[in-house]
Every structure is written in structure tokens, then in C-alpha cells.
Structure 1
Amino acid sequence: MSLLVVGLSHRSAPVSVLERAALTAQAQAGLLTEALTAEPAAEAAVLATCNRIELYTDVDKFHAGVAEMSTLLALHCGVGLDELTPYLYVHYEDRAVHHLFSVACGLDSMVVGEGQILGQIKDALARSQELHTAGRLLNDLFQQALRVGKRAHHETGIDRAGQSLVTFGLEQLAGDVSVADWAKGKCALVIGAGSMSSLAAATLARAGVSEIVVANRTPERAHRLVEILTEPGGPGVLAHTVPIAEAADELAKADVVVSCTGATGLVLTGREIADAVAGRNGHLDLLDLAMPRDIDAAVHRLDGARLVDIESLAAASADAPMAADVERVRAIVTGEVDAFGAAQRAAHITPTVVALRTMAADLVNSEITRLRGRLPGLDDKERAEITQTVRRVVDKLLHAPTVRVKQLASEPGGAGYADALRTLFDLDPQTVAAVSRADASSTDDPNRGRS
């Protein structure tokens, strides 16, 4: 089996296509389930964020896998395959590992180095574990990706190479002044109460806004966010909630709007914003972090309003500082990809080695049983000594070749050593497969690897 990635992102597709292809939680679950029923795939995981949709699978046939997974991706995205295909990219084996590790480090993000992708990768792994679509390969891959991403952020200054989308978006609105100078004393409307909206609200509170209004479809989450913003020892901002249906009514008194919801349609229309800015002094600043977009893109052409959205963030971040820190992260990724490949190749031969040692142990037991029949006069001490001697001889004979074959198998091109070992010792393929299944079952625990 081999790792395959089929996906699209801000690097391969325009925002309009990404918006239409956005996967709901239900669609993700359906995609994972159907990917496993497809003949080429044995494991599946979906990484879906505001600017990427990627399907990771373990397949036994490359071309059939690409065709089947592309078809399923298009089906669940609701975009025709012919229309989606020009924007799809495919990564296979080591290139697929390199891609995910780069994503985890923030190298493939619109804002280089943003750390929120680590939480999204963790969520993707948790989802596939809960649905039992991740086996040994994808569990190992995603857990290692999380470790690589954390290592990159810990060992380099990649965080400084590109801020989070929230910070970067607010900096775009602030322009030539600091976010604190721009935000001081303003009234902010935050639409949504998820991780991105909550981060935006907290950032605005720390920056010195005087009031925050939170609008969310689930009132309980909105109230919880307000409690966090106004708790003792916090930034001391005034905050309250309104029903999301009244969000447009709050535009008239808002100075800045941040929106990031899971809505499939517009939350704020161009007409609503045009009405809000009519006759006001100064601009209404809007930050749309949702995919698909929450705020009508027509606002870009509206006098009196200034909109920063995912598409404009992508353009603005093209010249963000990278250089030395990015190169250091790339070196980390390259080394980690090599290490992951070596570990996977070594693990591939382990069932064969276990099967060989099991066969040897069975042979020893059989011969000792035969010896007991031929030499009934041996006492227990003598039989135990003979048994121990035979086992030591067999262990010593097998030790060097099994250790060496594991070393060779971990090197590039070493996959054939397992086949050679099975052929040389005439190992039963079903026995090897049984060892593999028993070992793989240990990865089925949905809590495995969570931290």
C-alpha cells in the first residue's frame, strides 16, 4: 500500500472554486466513509481548512487511486469533476509526506508560518480516528506531522516569518499604524464564536477596542466568548451578544467587523454594508476570514468600506518576509521526511521478521518434542538444557541476518528485502499477513496518539 494525496488549495485554485468546494462536517464524514469502500483505498483522512481541501489515502494502485479519489472528492465537494480537475494536485509516497510536513510547518499557508494549521491537522486525525478510517500509515503520518510542525515552531523563527491570519488581517486593515493605534477606542462587531473569531475578539480586546459585540448562531457559545473577554484580570473591554439575525443592525455603530462562520451563504450583503456606511464619517473596516466568504466581495468596490478577505490576504502575504527561517524549516522537513520513510520501510519488514522467528520457534518446539520421544530417559534438567541450547543456536543464527535486513530495509529501495526473506525461508504469506493485521489492530484505538 502507498500514500496518496489528492487536493486543492489557495495555491492551485481561485477563491471562487475553493468557496464552492468547501466541505461541511457531514460531507467530510461521507467522503471518508466512501473512500474506504472504494477498492483502491485502505485508509483515509481529510484535511479541510478555509484554504485547502485534501484527501489522504493509502492505496494499492496509483492510477486507479487517483481516478477514484478525485471522483469522490468532486462528488462530495459538489463541484463537477471536469471543472475541479484542472485545480487538483496529486502527491505520492515521499512527496505526499513532504507535502503534509510542509503544511504542518506553515510553509504552504497563505501567511507563511501561521500555527493554526496544527490544530486543523489534529482535528483531521481525530475525525478519521473516530470514524475508524485511519490505520497504521495515516496515524503515524499525521502524528509525525504534528511533531514536525511543533519542532519547526520551537527551533526556528518561522512564527515571525508570517503571523496568523487574524493578526495579519488586522495589520492589513491598520495599514501604516500599529494595530493598537488603529484599534484604540473602536467598537468591534465579531460574527462567529469559533476558534478564529474568538482569536480575533481576544486580539482586538488586547489591542484596546472599547466595545465588542458578538453575534453567533449558537447563543451559548457567544455568551461563553463574552464571559472570557470580560472575566476579571482580562483586558477590561465591554462585551455583549446579539442574535446573528441582528448582526446587520449592528453595522451602523461598528467601526470594525470580523467575520468567520461556517455559513454556506453570505452573512453580510453588499446592500447591508452600503446602507451602514451611507453618511458616516470614516471607513467601516471589515475582515472576512471565512471560506466560503461571509461578506459580499462587492464591498471591495464600495466607497466608505474597506474589506480584507482571504483572497486579498493571499496577495498581501506574497511578499511577507521568509528567508533564513523558512530555509531552516525546509531543512527540518527534508530530514523528517527521510526519517519517516526509513521508519515506514523498517516497519514494513517487521511482520516478515516476526513470522520468521515464529516459524523458527515452532520448529524448535517440534524437534524438542520429537527428541523427548526418542530419548525418554532424559531427566527434566537434561531436557531443559538441550532445549535452551537449541534455542540459543537458532537465535544466534537468526540474529545477524534479521538485524541486518531491518537496516537494509530502512534504506531507499529496501522494500524488496522483505520479499527476499519470505522467499528464502519459504514463509507462509498468510502467516505474515496475520502478523500485519494483528499489529495494525493496535492502531485502531481512537485515543491513540492524542495529546
Structure 2
Amino acid sequence: MSLLVLGLSHHGAPLELLESAALDQSARGRLEGAIVASEHVAEAVVVSTCNRTEVYAEGLTFHGALTDVSEALAEATGVALSDLQPHLYVHYEDRGIAHAFSVASGLDSMAVGEAQILGQLRESLTRAQRRGHVGPALNGLLQQALRVGKRVHAETGIDDVSRSLVGSGLTAATEVVGPLAGARVLVVGAGGMGALAATAASQAGAASVTITNRGAARAERLAVRVDGAAVPWDDRRAALADADIIISSTGATGVIITAEDVAAGATARSGRPQVFIDLALPHDVDLTVSEVAGATRIGLAELGELLSGAGDVLQVREARDIVTGEVAAYLTERSAEAVAPTVAALRSRAQEVVDVEMRRLGRRTPELTDHDRAEVERAVHRIVEKLLHAPTVRVKQLAQDGQGGSYAKALSELFDLDPREVSVVSTPPVLPSSDEEVGR
């Protein structure tokens, strides 16, 4: 079984395609279900955010899994496979692990270093666990990816370097409407991104922050947190005309703010400029809004250009160093786990031989005292441990170098072992270190 990662992101796909391929929670679950129904795939997790849609799969065969995952993604998104393929990336095994760790650390995001991806990745894993689409392989990988992401944010200054989409949008907006201290901000949507937007605007000193959301209770709770105000969803057009900066991220499948809405409020504004920061995918704000006099629309594509220069700063290099080390450690641990059943089988076979010989000794020398018999058994065990020490240490060393598989296979052939035996793999041994003393 092997890890396969297939997807498309802001790195190589146009925004229009990303919008078309974006999937809501229900669609992600259905896609996972379709993928694990394939005879070539054992597990699947789908991650879909504002700048990526990708599938993590544990494949039983590479080419079969690749074909089935690609076709299932095309079916789920409604985008022809011929249109998807030129923009799809495929990562396999080691590269897939490195990609997962980089994504969780925010190194692959449009806003380099953003921490929101951790929550999105955790949410995707939880959904897949709940629906039975994920097993030990992907669960272990993604749990470790989450730990790596947390470590990167805890041990580097990447949070300081990473200008979030919200922060970059607000900075760009002030160039049009003037300082935030004199600007009224309307946040449309009170989900995760909406909460970030409202908090950022409040902390940056906006003159006022207003929240509108389909669910009034959530809007009111967020308004209390940021010392702002909440307006009912049905009154959002009036609030729209009053705001200088509008930040929208609702997760809706259609346009929320039309050019007609903006034009209707323009008269009351008497020519005062207005900026719309659209953080949604698919977009919330009509693409033609910028054609309305005094209105400026800043979408994800524009924000991506503003954030494109963060790749070579010191904190990012430090984060990449951590990810590189974590990938190496993960591969080493996984290699050791792969050979552990063979080592367990070898020790189990040795114990069987000792038990048989001790029973034979008991039948042939009934005059031995219990003390003498115990001494003989301890001596035999010391001999066995000394004989097994070198191969078990060596297989661990080779596993760390990625060569443990062939050595473990040789041991299995030489000693006629069956590492799949339940009694063996249920309690795999701890492999001794190379400097561990044997026989005491």
C-alpha cells in the first residue's frame, strides 16, 4: 500500500478552475466515499480550502488508484477530466508525506504561514474518520502532519512573517479609502474567515465593525467579541451602502453581493470610495463590481500577488528546515515499523525452539532440581539473545537507511518466518539500539 496525493492549488491552477473544483463538506464526503469504493484504494481524505482541492489516498496499486481518484474528482467537481489534468499535481510516497507536512505548516498556502489550514486539515480528517473513509495509514500521516504544523508555528516566527489574506486586504483597502481609523467595516459571513476578518479590523483600529450572517446568533456572538454590531441578514444591503470596506467570506455557492447592490448604494455615498475584499471561493462579490463608480474589488487573485514575495525570508527557511527533519524522522520510524513484525517473528521462533528443548530436557533429566533447570533455561536464553542481537540491531540500522525491507525478507526466507501471524504482530518487540548490552 502506498500514499498518493492528487489535487490542484493556486500554484498551478487558474482561480476560475479552483472555484469550479471547490467542494462543500457534503460533497467532500461523497467524493471520499466514491474513492474508497474503488478496488485500488483503501483510504481517502479530501481537503478543499479557498486555494486548494486535493485528495490523500492510500492506494493498493499506483496506476489504478491514480486513474480512479482522477475520475472521481472530475465527477465530483463537474469539471471535465481533460480540463483538470493539465493543472493537477501528483505526489507519491515520500513526496506525498513532504507535501502533507508542508501544507499543514502553511508553507504551501497563498498566505505563506497562515495557521487556518491546521483547522481545515483537522476538520477534514475528523469528517473522514466519522464516515469510515480513513484508516491507520492516513490517520497516522495526517495526525503527524498536524503535529508538525503546530511545531512550526510554535518554534518559528512564521506567524509574524505571514501576512494573512485579511491583513493584506485591509492594507490594500486603506490605500483607497484612507486610514482604518476613519473607516467603517462590514464583515459578511461569521464563519472562521469572517471571525478572522472582524478581529483583524477591530484590532487595527477600524472606526466601526459590523457583522451580518445568515445565522443571526453567530453574528451577534462575533459582534460581542470584537466590540462591534450585528445587523440582520435581510438588512445587509443598507449596511452595505454605509460601509467603506466590505469583507466577504460566506462559503455560499452563488454571488452574495451584486453590482446592482453596489450601484444602488453608491448614490447615498456621494462619491466616497468603497472597497470589497472577497475572500470566498467561489467568489461572493460579483466580478463586475469594480465597474461601478467608486467601487474597488480585491479578490483572491489580487491578494495572491500581494503575498507572493514571502518565500525566501528567514522564518520560512527555518520552517522548511523543521519540515525536512520531520519528514526524515517519519520515514525512519515508518521503516522501523515495517520490519518490526519480522523481528517479532524471529524472536517468537527462537522462543518456540527454547520451549521445545526445555521440555525435552525435562523428559530426559527428571532428576534435575528446579534451581538447576532455571539456570539452564537462563543460559539458553542468554545464548539466544546474543545470537539474535546482531540481526535485530542490523535490521534497525538498515531500516533507518531505507534498506530494511530486503533484509527483513531475507530473514523471513532463511528462518521460514511468517510475520503476518496474529500472535506475532499483536505484540511487536522493541528493537534494541546498536550499543545495547545483551545477555544481562
1:86 partnered with 2:72: no
In 1: Cα distance, 2:403 partner to 2:380 partner: 35
8 Å contact 1:74–1:81 — kept in the other structure?
Answer: yes
Percent identity, aligned pairs only? Answer: 45
Q: How does 1:55-204 map to 2 (within 5 A)?
A: 55-175=55-175, 182-204=179-201
Q: Which residue of 1 aligns with 2:326?
A: 336
Q: Which residue of 1 aligns with 2:9?
A: 9
Q: What is the deviation of 1:159?
A: 2.7
Larger RCO (alpha carbons 8 Å, 6+ apart): 1
Give SS of 1:184's match: helix
- 284, 304, 325: which one aligns with 2:315: 325
1:267 partnered with 2:256: yes
Q: Which residue of 2 aligns with 1:446?
A: none
Q: Which amino acid aligns with 2:275?
A: D
Q: Which residue of 1 aligns with 2:432?
A: none
Give SS of 1:292's match: coil
Q: How does 1:209-224 map to 2 (within 5 A)?
A: 209-224=206-221
Q: Which residue of 2 aligns with 1:233?
A: none
In 2: Cα distance, 1:302 partner to 1:320 partner: 33
Counterparts in 2 of 1:279 and 1:137: CA distance versus 1, 3 Å: same
8 Å contact 1:112–1:322 — kept in the other structure?
Answer: no
8 Å contact 2:419–2:425 — kept in the other structure?
Answer: no
Q: What is the deviation of 1:368?
A: 2.3
Give SS of 2:416's match: coil
Q: 74-83 or 155-164, which moves further after superposition? A: 155-164
In 2: Cα distance, 1:321 partner to 1:47 partner: 23
Q: How does 1:26-45 map to 2 (within 5 A)?
A: 26-45=26-45
Counterparts in 2 of 1:33 and 1:182: CA distance versus 1, 3 Å: same
Q: 337-346 or 181-190, which moves further after superposition? A: 181-190
- 364, 371, 389: which one aligns with 1:381: 371
Q: After superposition, what is the alpha-carbon deviation per residue over 1:19-52, rounded to whole angstroms, capped at 9, x for unaligned?
A: 1111111111122223222222222222221110
Q: Which residue of 2 aligns with 1:308?
A: 298
TM-score, reference length from structure 1? 0.88
8 Å contact 1:188–1:212 — kept in the other structure?
Answer: yes
TM-score, reference length from structure 2? 0.90
Q: What is the deviation of 1:185?
A: 3.7
8 Å contact 2:220–2:229 — kept in the other structure?
Answer: no
8 Å contact 1:59–1:65 — kept in the other structure?
Answer: yes
Q: How does 1:223-234 map to 2 (within 5 A)?
A: 223-230=220-227
Give SS of 2:388's match: helix
8 Å contact 2:258–2:286 — kept in the other structure?
Answer: yes
Q: Which residue of 2 aligns with 1:50?
A: 50
Q: Which amino acid aligns with 2:31?
A: L
Counterparts in 2 of 1:406 and 1:306: CA distance versus 1, 3 Å: same
- 337, 347, 356: which one aligns with 1:347: 337
In 2: Cα distance, 1:425 partner to 1:25 partner: 51
Q: After superposition, what is the alpha-carbon deviation per residue over 1:257-286, rounded to whole angstroms, capped at 9, x for unaligned?
A: 111112111111122122222352311111
8 Å contact 1:216–1:222 — kept in the other structure?
Answer: yes
Q: Which amino acid aligns with 2:58?
A: D
In 1: Cα distance, 2:155 partner to 2:419 partner: 45
In 2: Cα distance, 1:311 partner to 1:437 partner: 52
Q: 252-261 or 40-49, which moves further after superposition? A: 40-49
Structure 2 unaligned segments of length 5 or more: list them. 429-440
| Equivalenced residues, count | 427
In 1: Cα distance, 2:97 partner to 2:298 partner: 33
8 Å contact 2:105–2:148 — kept in the other structure?
Answer: yes
Q: After superposition, what is the alpha-carbon deviation per residue over 1:51-104, rounded to whole angstroms, capped at 9, x for unaligned?
A: 101111121322112111111122222222222222211011111112222222
- 240, 247, 257: which one aligns with 2:236: 247
Structure 1 unaligned segments of length 5 or more: list them. 231-237, 440-451
In 1: Cα distance, 2:389 partner to 2:267 partner: 82
8 Å contact 2:105–2:115 — kept in the other structure?
Answer: yes
8 Å contact 2:396–2:404 — kept in the other structure?
Answer: no
Q: What is the deviation of 1:437?
A: 7.7
Give SS of 2:179's match: helix
Counterparts in 2 of 1:163 and 1:414: CA distance versus 1, 3 Å: same
8 Å contact 2:185–2:209 — kept in the other structure?
Answer: yes
Q: 203-212 or 261-270, which moves further after superposition? A: 203-212
In 2: Cα distance, 1:172 partner to 1:417 partner: 59
In 2: Cα distance, 1:424 partner to 1:172 partner: 69
Backbone CA RMSD of aligned residues: 2.3
8 Å contact 1:7–1:54 — kept in the other structure?
Answer: yes
In 2: Cα distance, 1:295 partner to 1:331 partner: 39
8 Å contact 2:342–2:418 — kept in the other structure?
Answer: no
Q: After superposition, what is the alpha-carbon deviation per residue over 1:361-415, rounded to whole angstroms, capped at 9, x for unaligned?
A: 2332233233333333333333333333222322221122112101101213443
Q: Which amino acid aligns with 1:276?
A: G
Give SS of 2:3's match: strand
8 Å contact 2:241–2:266 — kept in the other structure?
Answer: yes
In 1: Cα distance, 2:130 partner to 2:58 partner: 18
Q: How does 1:283-432 map to 2 (within 5 A)?
A: 283-320=273-310, 322-428=312-418, 430-431=420-421
